[in-house]
Amino acid sequence: MWQASRTPREQRIDVVLQLMQSGAWEPGRSHQALAQKWGVHPGTVEHIASEANRLLRHAFRSNPQARDEALAEVLFTFRTVRLRMLENGSVAAMKVALDAAEAFGRYNGIEPPKNVKLTSQDEFEGLTDEQLAAVVEGGVEALRVVREGEAVN
């Protein structure tokens, strides 16, 4: 009875929401298919999908148990993909396994740095000719002694 009181838009939002929750929603492809099925413009379906997505995110934010279950499922999927790809052993499968491991880490709060700053420093800059000659004769150890001598002065 309560479904009969919903507007066509609300019914369509429910359809999209169910597709999203089941993992059957495919951005782009689902828009086109539903637009054709419902006889509406694909942009209309995009708006409906946006609203369904907002409702889904709100449900996860307001229900910690649902969020934890969804997170557990995502993590399980990353583990499964990684293990299956490692078993495959091809170069492409190894790339997928690495991506799955990286995604698993990000979801667990382990993330590599986004930016790496590289600097180059000339270790011999500022050395006198006598110090350079000592480094040529004594190698890395002589350079270390010269640098320690500069730090003391």
Q: What is the pLDDT of residues 74-83, one digit of tens each?
A: 888 888 988 8
Whether residue 36 contacts residue 44, with contact meaning beta carbons closer than 8 Å, is answered with: no
Q: Which residue has the tokens 């934010």?
A: 61
Residue 13 has pLDDT above 80, yes or no: yes
Looking at per-residue confidence, does 76 or 4 come out higher?
Answer: 76
Q: Which of 85, 84, 75, 80 is nearest to 105 (CA)?
A: 75
Return the domain boundaries, the chain.
Answer: 1-62, 64-112, 120-153
From residue 138, how far is each of 96, 131, 135, 145, 150 by CA, in Å? 48, 10, 5, 10, 17
Give the separation between CA 85 and CA 124, rounded to whole angstroms. 47
Q: What is the pLDDT of residues 15-69, one digit of tens each?
A: 999 998 888 888 888 889 999 999 999 999 999 999 999 998 888 788 888 888 8
Residue 116: predicted pLDDT: 65
Residue 152: predicted pLDDT: 45
**What value does the mean pLDDT take over residues 124-134?**
83
Q: Which of 78, 76, 84 is nearest to 100 (CA)?
A: 78
pTM here is 0.47
Q: What is the pLDDT of residues 96-123, one digit of tens each?
A: 888 888 888 887 788 766 776 766 777 7
Residue 11: predicted pLDDT: 92
